[in-house]
Structures are given as C-alpha cells and as structure tokens.
Amino acid sequence: MVTTHGYYYDRGSSSPTWLSDTWAMDLASAPHAWRLLSDHASHHEAHAAYSSGRAHNLPCGRFGHASAIVGDALYMYGGHDGGYSRTNRHDYQPGNDFAELWRFNLLRKTWSLVVGAVRKVLGRAILVARGTS
C-alpha cells in the first residue's frame, strides 16, 4: 500500500498544510509499519520553483489529486495547493489546479515529471492505457 501527498490542518500555525512525502506499508509481511519512500519539498522550495518557472525535482504538496500504481511506478495527476506554490500565501486561492502528471519510480524512489503526457482532464480521475511508461 502506498500513500502520497496529503492535507492536514496545522493547529500550531493555524493554517492548512499540504505535504508531498510518499509512504509505503507492506501488508504481506508483519510487522505492518510505514516506511518513508520520498521526503517532502518545503513550501519555500515549491514557491521558489513554481514562481520562477524552473522545473522542480518532485511535485509540491497538494490535495485533490488522482493516483494509480502501474507496474513499478506510481502516477499522480493534478490536484491543487490553494495557490500557495504560486502566491506564497497560506489562504486558499481558487483556480490554481496543477495540470501535471508525475511518475514515482517505486524501485529507485525518484520522482520525474512526465512531459507531454496530459491531453485531456476528466475531473479527478486518472486513466492509464496499456503501453504507457
């Protein structure tokens, strides 16, 4: 079982927080414990990358995305972070959806942006066709 990117409300700072870490649990063997596959990027790093237009080495924290495992990869599409990576503000700003498809190699534990893969967005669904890598 793999989980990635999530939302929680940080009571300490009284603000929503979107994470970008990736975790796995092997349900076939005991003890069942979570293991970190990929650490998260800070909001500062995400804002610096997205506001300058330069590529980032992993997707920023977000929620409302879709994901699927295909072979040895986890694919993640879309989602949004309330505009934080673009505006550097903690308040929710609508209209800042990500039109990105990311691939996480489960063996190498690395993220890569899949350029040119997104043709049509259908809500919060992800479609994986045979033959895609």
pLDDT per residue over 99-110, tens digit each? 889 999 999 999
Query: Residue 126's pLDDT is what?
Result: 53
List, for residues 71-98, the tens digit of each pLDDT value: 999 999 888 887 777 777 766 777 778 8
Would you say the pTM of this structure is higher than 0.75? yes
Q: At 85, which helix (H) or strand (E)? A: helix 84-87
Give the residue from 75, 119, 128 showing the smallest Cα distance to 99. 119
Instruction: Give domain limits for the chain.
Output: 2-113
Q: Amino acid letter at 75?
A: Y
CA-nearest of 73, 52, 53, 61 to 8 is: 61
Cβ atoms of 118 and 127 within 8 Å: the answer is no
CA distance 26 to 70: 17
What pLDDT is attached to residue 131?
52
Q: What per-residue confidence (pLDDT) applies to 116?
A: 77
- Where would I find the beta strands (DSSP E) of 25-95? 35-38, 63-70, 73-80
Q: What's at 47, amino acid-wise?
A: H
Reduced to 3 states (helix: H, G, I; strand: E, B; else coil), residue 112 is strand
